[in-house]
Amino acid sequence: MREHVGSAPPGEHHAQPGGGGIHHQAPAPVHQRPVRLEHRRRLRPRRQRVSELTVDLSGKTALVTGAASGIGTACARRYAEAGASVICTDVVDDAGQQVADEIGGRYRHLDVADSSAWTALAAEMADDPGHLHLAHLNAGIMMGLSDVAEMSDEDYHRIIGINQHGVVFGLRAAVPLLEAAGGGHVLITGSMASFSPLPVDLGYSMSKHAIAALVRSAAPNLAERDISLNAVCPATVGTGFLGGNRDRLEAAGMVIMDAEEVAEAAMAILDSGLTGECFALFKGRQPEPFQFATIPGADYRSRR
């Protein structure tokens, strides 16, 4: 399972707050400006500087989907460097096994869109005395269709199955395992397309918007169980999706980050103490929670 490169396919530039290609506009009317969420939950005090992070994953178990390439590989390596025992999953078995062997982890074939496959993996892990402490739900694809009239049933079900259902199935499977370990973390690989429309790939944009809604909606109740839930949402990442176009795109002014930068951002997010956040990530910058506009008077706290 290959993972995404960020919010835009080759040749598409970003125009996002705080990033390259920003369009300067007049300030929005007061009623349209973002309102800071008063009920943001913290599991422990937030640390501000990436250089000061000391995440300790020693003796912990981490699961990474889409680990055979790109962001998944970089994150699996980084978690292993931090002392975690990493379970790598993918559908590209040779590459996935190679990554697992390289980092001293384990490999399992997993089609994230198959709920029964998640059930089987969760049952296997439930019998593992190492439990589960971190689930990084990273697997995803891009579709490249801009015209909804051209989208076949197969196109639609494939991208929603992997990018959306696969994350929900993974979260559902991970929560009981994390609870059994006394708490832990879930991190989802989102995208700048989690925040802004991406007309050149409507299926990808739709599925990544759903990730933001899932994170913000599910996190409050999970916090009561000492489980954090966040998303890392990078701009364009130089993974296999760019093919041989990286030099040309950079020459044209596109800012492209390496997958290793996303892995470092993942570590920073895990150590932030925050939950329910979608962290925007641009090359050379610290991950920062995206500031969504809220409805005045709405209560986003857990209601049980």
Distances (CA, A) of 283 to 137, 185, 197, 258: 22, 24, 21, 8
How many Å apart are CA 229 and CA 132, to the nearest integer?
14
Handedness of CA 202, 203, 204, 208 (dihedral sign): positive
Cβ-Cβ contacts under 8 Å for 72 (sequence gap 6 or more): 3, 64, 65, 66, 88, 90, 136, 138, 139
Strands 288-289 and 278-281: antiparallel
Catalytic residue chosen out of the listed positions 79, 107, 204, 300:
204
Maximum CA extent, the chain: 57
In three-state form (DSSP H/G/I as H, E/B as E, the rest C), the secondary structure along 206-242 is: HHHHHHHHHHHHHHHHHHCCCEEEEEEEECCECCHHH
Has 204 been annotated as catalytic? yes
Tokens of 285: 């910058």
Query: Could you list the active site residues?
Result: 204
